[in-house]
Amino acid sequence: MHLKFSFSALFFAFLFASCANSETASSPSLEPVKHGTTMQVAVSDSLKKFTAEMVSNKRDFICGMPVTAGIADTAHYKGKVYGFCASECKDEFLQSPDAYTANK
Looking at residue 102, its pLDDT comes to 86
Q: Which residue(s) pair with 35 in the sheet?
A: 38
Q: Digits of tens for pLDDT over the chain (104 positions)?
A: 454 556 666 565 554 555 544 444 444 444 555 555 555 555 544 445 788 999 999 999 999 999 999 999 999 999 999 999 999 999 999 999 999 998 65
Distance CA 45, CA 34 (A): 21
Which residues, at least 6 apart from 1, have a Cβ–Cβ distance to it below 8 Å? none
User: How many contiguous H segments (helices) and E segments (strands) does the chain have?
Assistant: 3, 4
Per-domain residue ranges for the chain? 28-102
For the chain, where are the E strands, in sequence order?
32-35, 38-41, 73-77, 80-84
Mean pLDDT of the chain: 73
